[in-house]
Amino acid sequence: MVKARKYVVKKDFDGLPKREDFEIVEYELPPIKNGEILVKVEWVSVDPYMRLVKPNPVPYDIPAFQVGLVVESKSPKYPVGTRIVSHKGWRDYVIIDTNKPYSDSEMFSQLYKLPDLSGFPNSLAIGAVGMPGASAYLGFLDVCQPKAGETVVVTGAAGAVGSVVGQIAKIKGCKVIGFAGSDEKVKWLEEIGFDKAINYKTADIKTALQEAAPNGVDCFFDNVGGEVSSIIIYQMNQGGRGVVVGSISAYNEDFSNLPKATMLQFPILAKQLKIQGFSITECDLNRQFEAHKELSKWIRSGQLKAREHVTEGFEKLYDAFVGMLKGENFGKAVVKL
Amino acid sequence: MVKARKYVVKKDFDGLPKREDFEIVEYELPPIKNGEILVKVEWVSVDPYMRLVKPNPVPYDIPAFQVGLVVESKSPKYPVGTRIVSHKGWRDYVIIDTNKPYSDSEMFSQLYKLPDLSGFPNSLAIGAVGMPGASAYLGFLDVCQPKAGETVVVTGAAGAVGSVVGQIAKIKGCKVIGFAGSDEKVKWLEEIGFDKAINYKTADIKTALQEAAPNGVDCFFDNVGGEVSSIIIYQMNQGGRGVVVGSISAYNEDFSNLPKATMLQFPILAKQLKIQGFSITECDLNRQFEAHKELSKWIRSGQLKAREHVTEGFEKLYDAFVGMLKGENFGKAVVKL
């Protein structure tokens, strides 16, 4: 018998999630059945969507991607020693039924073998070569359709998704401006190739952006929302494209009474902007695999730097999660078990 | 020699345009040259965009569509007695160079023969079978891509564009809810086929819309902007499409300091909405002619009622314009000279 642990959300989040909103549940795993594998989880992801997405009313298992090692197997496709990527939440051991088909509507059903990472850390498979990387790649390229020479703005630029978007934009020949929440992040973003990074906590956002993008903004990749995002949208050019992939500034708000920001309808009209929400859950898995392939190619060639912010220990998952929500991470926040 | 009159904007609008912002200039027209026609203007349009669009700094000729009669001609294509549609502003007589090619970037250059209106008033060519009708048709069908059975919301529903959008949506098999600014308008909209109309000035907008659209909103055609529009966007369904074709609530505001409204990034993200600004000036003239053709077909068949709000007299153009901006019109506001 294997003892497993998992995090259960037992109380709906109100503002920033509290430690007592979670319970760590210990339970015994039954013997595996035909078609099943027992996975020892090695890396667990903490992402903004976990603040937002409830698979069902409390109590519920918090969703999350992980990389794990198959330690017992009754599935020829996943023999012992295989490394897999799945979406089974914050757990240390998990039994997965490999015969259960993947379904877009079943958020916990993703399962695939770890992609070839050419010696780079396996954790990339839940970061720059996983869901966040694919969100950056598909959200930016499909929705914004950037052209070389255009000016791209990214908010949450030092996060898992934003830092990848900015680098993809550079690969595509764009000028890239990133917004982040500290001078250290600004420094790092300029090191990895952003043409300009701006600390939104200290800068006069409107003026700083006018100086950084004197010809206006063509593409906007928004992870943050709120007034910063509105100010950027007001500086977009005719026919500009905006994609909203996160809205982290709102996640801890009361959704029935969200804050106000400068109205957007007017610039949307005046500049014939297209602003679109994007969720990777809308993209089929094959398109995500295409993105993973392209992203890992860029990582191997050194064109894409995939920084990770690693926390160690199953017990630290809550801290890693809240730290990420507070913006403490540079790049992708992951937890090593 | 023909004496002509035109309205010149001599002072930038500040809030609602004032009578003294305009000057009526009288001048003598020279003899027409080869390729030119002299047009006696019969109908002039007043539209919201005139509050917004400045062809150049003051003083400038206010832009506007008109229907006119060719009374002198040195152009075989437009003999005397031809009726034409052009975009020459608020004038009573005008000389048009018919050899000057149409250019999308030159807002004053549109010129074409009056379409066949089968006995309906010629003024329709600057209304439901003109620019406003084409904006309704192309903005709604191209951007919102409505499907039969979907729920459509229109703001400014009793205006020139909104009243046409709602009726197109009914023709396409949708459920249509309109917002307008008086009980009389609400009554009229329900008479012409809107499933439900709501007086935004007196209703609790959120609750009224929840009751009228219990399954949520799939398509949103926005003429108005501001908080009403934000409330509607919060009730849109997954994958909903919004088109912003007007933002009349903002036109009299200080553009450097627009009012705030509940932030939109969050619902755009959560429902993967697509919100797009649309201007008919982006569509080539042939697509507009297609729209005119389809619209006049529906008018002939009785499926589309094109109500007009007629003011008489060149001297009344200012009053008609401001009345329209205040929402006094039912359907298309036009001025008969």
**Closest approach of chain A CAs to the CA of B255, in angstroms?**
9
Residue A105 confidence (pLDDT) above 70: no
Mean pLDDT of all residues in B208-220: 98
**Are the beta carbons of B250 and A264 separated by less than 8 Å?**
no
Where residue B104 falls among pLDDT bands split at 50, 70, 90?
low
From chain B, the residues in CB contact with A226 under 8 A are: 263, 265
Q: How far is A262 from chain B (nearest CA, A)?
A: 4
- pLDDT confidence of residue A248: 85
Cβ within 8 Å, pair A270-B52: yes
Question: What share of chain A has pLDDT > 90, as a percent?
Answer: 88
Written as one string, the DSSP assignment of A59-125 is SEEPP--EEEEEEEES-TTS-TT-EEEE---SBSEEEEETTSPP-TT-TT--EEEPPP-TTS-GGGG
Contact A295, A304 (CB under 8 A): yes
Which positions in chain B have a beta carbon within 8 angstroms of at least one beta carbon in chain A?
Answer: 52, 222, 225-227, 229-230, 244-247, 250, 255, 258-279, 282
Mode of pairing for the β-strands spanning B236-244 and B274-277:
parallel
Distance of CA A154 to the CA centre of its chain: 14
**B269 to chain A: which residues are within 8 Å by CB?**
225, 244-247, 277-279
Contact criterion met (CB below 8 Å) for B143 and B119 = no
What pLDDT digit, counting tens, does each position of B291-329 carry? 999 999 999 999 999 999 999 999 999 999 999 999 999
Considering only A79-93, A249-263, B13-27, B41-55, which range has the smallest mean pLDDT? Answer: A249-263
Under an 8 A CB cutoff, do B265 and A244 touch?
yes
C-alpha to C-alpha distances, A73 to A31, A192, A337, nearest whole angstrom = 11, 42, 21
| pLDDT for residue B105 | 57
Contact yes or no for B211/B185 (Cβ under 8 A): no
Confidence band of B262 (pLDDT split at 50, 70, 90): confident
Mean pLDDT of chain B: 95
Q: Half-sphere exposure (CA, 13 Å, Cβ side) for B302?
A: 0
Q: Is a pLDDT exceeding 70 seen at residue A103?
A: no
Proportion of chain B above pLDDT 90, given as a percent: 88
Which whole number is the average pLDDT over B208-232? 96
What was the pLDDT predicted at B306?
A: 96
Question: A229 is written with which tokens?
Answer: 């995002």
Distances (CA, A) of B7 to A56, B37, B53, B66, B184: 63, 21, 15, 14, 32
| pLDDT given for residue B170 in this prediction | 98
Question: Quick check: B222 and A265 CB within 8 A?
Answer: yes
Q: Of A221, A185, A225, whose CA–CA distance to A203 is shortest? A: A185
What domains sit in chain B, N to C, each tagged with a CATH number?
A: 2-123+307-336 (3.90.180.10), 131-280 (3.40.50.720)
Q: Taking residues A220-225, report their average pLDDT.
A: 96
Is residue A198 within 8 A of residue A229, CB to CB? The reply is no
What is the rounded average pLDDT of the residues A183-209?
97
ipTM: 0.91
In chain A, the residue whose alpha carbon lies closest to the alpha carbon of B52 is: A270
Contacts of residue B134, defined as CB under 8 A and 6 or more positions apart, other chains included, come to B280, B283, B287, B288, B291, B292, B295
The pLDDT-based confidence of B103 (bands split at 50, 70, 90) is low
In angstroms, what separates the C-alpha of A287 from chain B's closest C-alpha? 18
Q: Tell me the chain B residues in contact with residue A261 when contact means C-beta distances shorter than 8 Å.
A: 260-265
Q: Cβ of B275 and A279 within 8 Å?
A: no
Tokens matching residue B208: 């009224």
Q: What is the mean pLDDT of residues A81-93?
A: 97
What does the pLDDT read at residue B256? Answer: 73
Q: What distance in Å separates the CA atoms of residue B3 and residue B138, rounded to the nearest whole number? A: 39
CA A49 to CA A245: how far, in whole Å? Answer: 10
Check: CB of residue A27 under 8 Å from CB of residue A4: yes
Give mean pLDDT, residues A184-197.
98
- Can you give the length of chain B in residues? 337
How many C-beta neighbours within 10 Å does residue A140 have? 27
pLDDT digits (tens, 9 = 90+) for B148-186: 999 999 999 999 999 999 999 999 999 999 999 999 999
Q: What is the pTM of this model?
A: 0.93
Instruction: Evaluate if residue B234 carries a pLDDT over 70.
Output: yes
Retrieve residue B329's tokens: 């019109």
Can you tell me the distance from the alpha carbon of A234 to that of A217, in angstroms, rounded to the nearest whole number?
9
Given a contact cutoff of 8 angstroms between Cβ atoms, the answer to whether A65 and A133 are in contact is: no
Q: In this predicted structure, what is the pLDDT of residue B100?
A: 84
Is 90 exceeded by the pLDDT of residue B128? Answer: yes
- Rounded to 5 degrees, φ, ψ at B310 are -95, 130
Cα distance from B136 to chain A (closest Cα, Å)?
14
Round the average pLDDT of chain A to a whole number and report it. 95
